[in-house]
């Protein structure tokens, strides 16, 4: 597999600072950019002051996310000027979805940015860097014909807490064109990595200490990759292969679209103990009218039927979701339907947003935009309900014994911290010898965002007790 040729004599280590906004895919991409630049002598540093190169890996999903990037850029411009005044050099690269969508605008508005690169071109960073060092202002935001994954250094490193958890990007882009969403424009058309490449990367991550892998994709459950047996696999089949990797104890995947949840994938939840009983399944709205106008391609009833099938397959499954309030034309009645759906499903976790009109998307130019105060009132009402559900889900873990992957020290001395199957952080008394183990923990304390407990004394059947939100 081709990879960037390393320089002959290893250059002196150079400081690299990466700032990441947005989704887990961006977190994965940031890690891979670090891998690429390590071949050029760069190593990660904790602060911009120590860096020779700063990368801002940006998110374009909502207006607020984009604004944050521009205010950060202003701050870094100051740092760059100071550095130059002292005879030094600071290079700034803008990566990710803001770069993809607004590359030309950035070039005009922030001429001190040395490199603008989209999410599909970061394997070319070494060459871009050389051009920027020669004084060129580089902009690479096209969707190149080659597959960046073929050109990235082979080994991704697990980057989660303690190196025990890792992200693995298996699918990118989206063909769904929900009318609020920029992703099909910033990340491009759906693309699935071949099964062999995914399995090789997963084996590498496990060999380097990962016990839990989260498969990533904008539409991860639409994954359909070329398989070693010459056929095309779906995600359920891929997970069966992943479950065969020795030492890989936990598998997760995100983000899924309800209409791509097929029988095989539901069966994987039923049959594979490695597949965690926790699923992020965005619903966006509980109103059929709004769902249709969002171009979500499913109804409220279809979502409810899907939830029922998933829970039948895996009774201890808990769900999280994404919801948008204030989509153009959303009435009080539509919003009431959303609250009602949330009550009916019961979510363990959730992410909720006020609709933000994004340039170039279908709904952005609609005349019936919902006024900001109405959006915010609805968001508050929705979040009150969602937080209460989350607190309630955690409270119902009290007294239960859950399998916890211990990832590192806790906040206080003599404490360790870990994650339940439902991704709740847990603190418990214990020593560093527990790191990397999956241990039964009896939950004794429940807060909205975390749990406390102690090692269970009684025998325990792993990850079998039902809990549903």
Instruction: Return the residues of window 184-203 that contact ligand SF4 according to CB under 6 A.
Output: 184
User: Contact between 353 and ligand 5AD (CB under 6 A)?
Assistant: yes
Least distance from C-beta 186 to ligand 5AD, angstroms? 11
Any contact of residue 122 with ligand 5AD (CB under 6 A)?
no
- Asked if 181 interacts with ligand SF4 (CB under 6 A), we say yes
Mark residues 24-63: x for contact with ligand 5AD by CB under 6 A, - for none.
-------------------------------------xx-
Number of residues located near ligand 5AD, criterion CB under 6 A: 12
Q: If binding is defined by CB under 6 A, does position 322 make contact with ligand 5AD? A: yes
**Whose Cβ is closer to ligand 5AD: residue 299's or residue 415's?**
299
| CA dist 252 → 48, 273, 306 (Å) | 33, 11, 18
Q: Any contact of residue 124 with ligand 5AD (CB under 6 A)?
A: no
Binding mask 180-219 for ligand 5AD (x = CB under 6 A): xx--------------------------------------
The least CB distance from residue 368 to ligand 5AD, in Å, is: 15
Comparing CB distances to ligand SF4, the nearer of 362 and 425 is: 362
Minimum CB distance to ligand 5AD, residue 18 (Å): 21
Considering CB distances under 5 to 8 angstroms, the limit depending on partner class, which of ligand 5AD, ligand SF4, none binds residue 253?
A: none
Least spacing, CB of residue 358 vs ligand 5AD, in Å? 5
Name the minimum Å distance from CB 167 to ligand SF4. Answer: 17
Considering beta carbons, is residue 298 or 427 the nearer one to ligand 5AD? 298
Interface with ligand 5AD includes 355 (CB under 6 A)? yes
Question: Which one of 91, 198, 324, 379 is in contact with ligand 5AD (CB under 6 A)?
Answer: 324
> Is position 328 an interface residue for ligand 5AD (rule: CB under 6 A)?
no
Cβ of residue 91: shortest distance to ligand 5AD, in angstroms?
30
**411 near 434, Cβ under 8 Å?**
no
Q: Which stretch binds ligand 5AD (CB under 6 A): 12-20, 73-81, 221-229, 348-356?
A: 348-356
Q: How would you write the chain as a 3-class SS string? A: CCCCCCCCCCCCCEEEEEEECCCHHHHHHHHHHHHHHHCCCEEECCCHHHCCEEEEEECCCCHHHHHHHHHHHHHHHHHHHHHHHCCCCCEEEEEHHHHHHHHHHHHHHCCCCCEEECCCCHHHHHHHHHHHHCCCCEEECCCCCCCHHHHCCCCCCCCCHHHCEEEEECEECCCCCCCCCCHHHHCCCCEECCHHHHHHHHHHHHHCCCCEEEEECCCHHHCEEECCCCCEEEHHHHHHHHHCCCCCCEEEEECCCHHHCCHHHHHHHHHCCCECCEEECCCECCCHHHHHHCCCCCCHHHHHHHHHHHHHHCCCCEEEEEEEECCCCCCHHHHHHHHHHHHHHCCCEEEEEECCCCCCCCCCCCCCCCCHHHHHHHHHHHHHHHHHHHHHHHHCCCCCEEEEEEEEECCCCCEEEEECCCCCEEEEECCHHHCCCEEEEEEEEECCCCEEEEECCCCCCCCCCCCCC
Region 237-276 residues binding ligand SF4, contact defined as CB under 6 A: 257
Asked whether position 317 contacts ligand 5AD by CB under 6 A, the answer is: no
In the complex, which residues of this chain contact ligand SF4 (CB under 6 A)? 174, 176-178, 181, 183-184, 218-219, 257
In the complex, which residues of this chain contact ligand 5AD (CB under 6 A)? 61-62, 180-181, 282, 284, 322, 324, 353, 355-356, 358
């Amino acid at each position: 597999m081709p990879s960037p040729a390393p320089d002959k004599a290893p250059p002196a280590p150079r400081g690299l600072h990466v700032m990441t906004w947005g989704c887990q895919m961006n977190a994965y991409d940031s890690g891979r950019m670090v891998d690429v630049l390590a071949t050029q002598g760069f190593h990660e540093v904790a602060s911009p002051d120590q860096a020779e190169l700063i990368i801002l890996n940006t998110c374009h999903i909502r207006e607020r996310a984009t604004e944050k990037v521009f205010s950060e850029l202003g701050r870094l411009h100051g740092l760059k000027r100071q550095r130059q005044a002292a005879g030094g050099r600071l290079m700034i690269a803008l990566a990710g979805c803001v770069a993809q969508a607004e590359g030309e605008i950035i070039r005009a508005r922030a001429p001190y940015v040395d490199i603008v690169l989209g999410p599909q071109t970061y394997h070319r960073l070494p060459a871009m860097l050389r051009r920027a060092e020669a004084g060129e202002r580089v902009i690479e935001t096209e969707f190149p014909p080659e597959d960046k994954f073929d050109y990235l250094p082979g080994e991704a490193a697990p980057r989660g807490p303690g190196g025990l958890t890792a992200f693995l990007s298996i699918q990118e882009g989206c063909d769904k064109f929900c009318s609020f969403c920029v992703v099909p424009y910033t990340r491009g058309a759906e693309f699935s990595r071949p099964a062999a490449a995914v399995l090789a990367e997963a084996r590498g991550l496990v060999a380097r200490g990962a016990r839990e892998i989260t498969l990533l994709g904008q539409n991860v459950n639409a994954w359909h990759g070329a398989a070693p047996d010459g056929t095309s696999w779906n995600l359920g089949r891929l997970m069966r292969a992943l479950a065969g990797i020795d030492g890989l104890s936990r598998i997760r995947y995100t983000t899924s679209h309800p209409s791509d949840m097929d029988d095989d994938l539901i069966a994987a939840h039923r049959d594979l103990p490695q597949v965690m009983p926790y699923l992020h399944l965005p619903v966006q709205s509980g109103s059929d009218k709004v769902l249709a106008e969002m171009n979500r391609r499913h109804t409220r009833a279809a979502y409810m039927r899907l939830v029922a099938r998933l829970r039948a397959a895996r009774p201890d499954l808990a769900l999280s979701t994404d919801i948008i309030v204030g989509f153009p034309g959303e009435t009080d009645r539509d919003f009431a339907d959303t609250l009602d759906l949330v009550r009916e499903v019961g979510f363990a976790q959730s992410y909720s947003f006020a609709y933000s009109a994004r340039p170039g998307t279908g709904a952005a130019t609609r005349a019936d935009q919902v006024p900001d105060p109405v959006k915010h009132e609805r968001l508050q009402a929705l979040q009150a309900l969602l937080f209460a559900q989350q607190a309630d889900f955690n409270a119902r873990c009290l007294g239960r014994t859950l399998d916890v992957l211990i990832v590192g020290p806790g906040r206080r001395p003599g404490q360790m911290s870990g994650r339940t199957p439902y991704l709740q952080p847990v603190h418990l008394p214990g020593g560093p010898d527990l790191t990397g183990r999956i241990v039964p923990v009896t939950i004794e304390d429940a807060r909205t965002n975390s749990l406390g407990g102690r090692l269970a004394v009684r025998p325990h059947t792993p990850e079998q007790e039902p809990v549903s939100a």
